Amino acid sequence: MADMQRVIYFIQRPHGMVTPDAFEIREERVPRLTGDKDVLVETVYASVDPYMRGRLSAGKSYTAPFAVGQPMAGAMVGRVADGGRSSLTAGEWVFGSWPWAEYAVLPETSLRRLDPSLPPTTALHVLGLTGLTAYVGLTKFGRPQAGERLVVSGSAGSVGSLTVQIGRLLGLAVYGIAGSDDKCQWLEQQMGVHKAFNYRAADFADALAAGLQEGVDIYFDNVGGAVTDEVLRHLNPHARIVICGQIALYNQDKPAQHRPLFSDLLISRAQATGFIVGEHQEEFPKALKRLQSWYRLGQLHAEESIAVGFDQWINAFLGLFAGANRGKAIVQIKDA
């Protein structure tokens, strides 16, 4: 094992669209074990997620901002390089959260040993927070009933692509919204979406109106902005809006002006609920059991967009805001 490693630091808060200038790659010594139950982990797979953009800003949000001058951090899958005096042994796969670095020293209690019968990357999507977000958001706040109509914005992304499949498995008529004709075709042909709409198309509003003539019972919103404005025009009475993300707004300097949400809710007597999945851990055991069953049976597909190489880490994160990924965006740091 090398004595030196690369670490990605967050060095300045972006204004508007995030750019590579917000980050810096530094070379540092590989950390050593110090605590009695410390574990040295080699990073193999890293998750990059849209919510991280909010943490680059200092404004009010649902989680603390990243500190300028400190390493970036997020969900990771790695191999134990040195288990020290812990119960973990070298070569075991583990999941946890640690800095954007090639190696990290972490307490054993912060790591979860992965099931070797499953691909290790499933911990970053279908059997991780991504899958839990899709399942808990849809079932707890969408309150689906078979035969209802579900619309998912950002439906070719990590959470969205699982949400549309879960909706189909629960007996819903599922409609997706994505940013290209290719993604819409993939959603219809591979993800089981009844109809997908390209929000970048000039006739998006007309196509949506034609396709949603029977209205929307559940709207799972990953996007916000103008896309959501159009969907809200088609709410059925007592519709449920599940607010998961607002990626269309994350890189804006100033809040955009949209049609008033409250009037849509009043007219439809609808309910809109924002949620953070980490606040609903009591739902996790049941959700993971069902997600794992669907996955093992081949009923739930986890699409991965994997960028290979440490030098692709920053670009993979920036690509989230240009729609570069289909399904879960992952960076592979080392050979698996």
Parallel, antiparallel or unpaired: strands 304-308 and 328-332: parallel
Distance CA 264, CA 244 (A): 18
Instruction: Tell whether 150 and 67 lie within a shared domain.
Output: no
Distance CA 116, CA 184 (A): 34
Output the pLDDT for position 322: 86
Let me know: does 138 contact 294? Beta carbons within 8 Å.
Answer: no
Rounded mean pLDDT of the chain?
93
Q: Report if residue 171 sits inside a domain.
A: yes
Output the pLDDT for position 264: 86
Which is more confidently placed, 256 or 300?
A: 300
Output the pLDDT for position 208: 97
Q: Report if residue 298 sits inside a domain.
A: no
Residue 251 has pLDDT above 60, yes or no: no
Instruction: Tell whether 21 and 91 lie within a shared domain.
Output: yes
- Which CATH number does the domain housing residue 269 bear? 3.40.50.720
Output the pLDDT for position 254: 62
Residue 255 has pLDDT above 60, yes or no: no
> How much is the average pLDDT of 118-132?
96
Alpha-carbon dihedral sign for residues 214, 218, 222, 226: positive
For 189, the domain range is 129-279
Confidence of residue 332 (pLDDT cuts 50, 70, 90): very high
* Count of CB atoms situated within 10 Å of the CB of 118: 15
Output the pLDDT for position 125: 96
Domain count, the chain: 2
Distance CA 34, CA 313 (A): 28
Residue 114's identity, in one-letter code, is L
> How much is the average pLDDT of 89-110?
97
Across the chain, which distance is largest between two alpha carbons, in Å?
64
Instruction: Tell whether 23 and 153 lie within a shared domain.
Output: no
Which is more confidently placed, 1 or 202?
A: 202
Residue 320 has pLDDT above 70, yes or no: yes
Would you state the structure tokens that stand for residue 111, as one six-digit string? 């790591």
Q: Report if residue 17 sits inside a domain.
A: yes
> How much is the average pLDDT of 50-57?
87
Output the pLDDT for position 57: 84
Would you state the structure tokens that stand for residue 253, as one six-digit string? 């300097």
Distance CA 52, CA 314 (A): 12
Output the pLDDT for position 64: 84
Q: Report if residue 284 sits inside a domain.
A: no
Output the pLDDT for position 63: 77
Let me know: does 40 contact 98? Beta carbons within 8 Å.
Answer: no
Q: Report if residue 287 sits inside a domain.
A: no
128-132, 171-175, 250-254, 330-334: least confident range: 250-254
Q: Which residues pair with 188 in a beta bridge?
A: none
- What's the DSSP call for residue 157? B
Would you state the structure tokens that stand for residue 196, as one six-digit string? 């997908």
Instruction: Tell whether 179 and 217 lie within a shared domain.
Output: yes
Distance CA 304, CA 328 (A): 5
Output the pLDDT for position 336: 83
Instruction: Tell whether 114 and 30 lie within a shared domain.
Output: yes
Instruction: Tell whether 191 and 212 lie within a shared domain.
Output: yes
Q: Report if residue 290 sits inside a domain.
A: no
* Count of CB atoms situated within 10 Å of the CB of 278: 12
Q: Report if residue 216 sits inside a domain.
A: yes
4-18, 52-66, 267-281: least confident range: 52-66
Instruction: Tell whether 179 and 312 lie within a shared domain.
Output: no
Would you state the structure tokens that stand for residue 39, as one six-digit string? 């574990």
Q: Does the predicted TM-score (pTM) go above 0.85?
A: yes
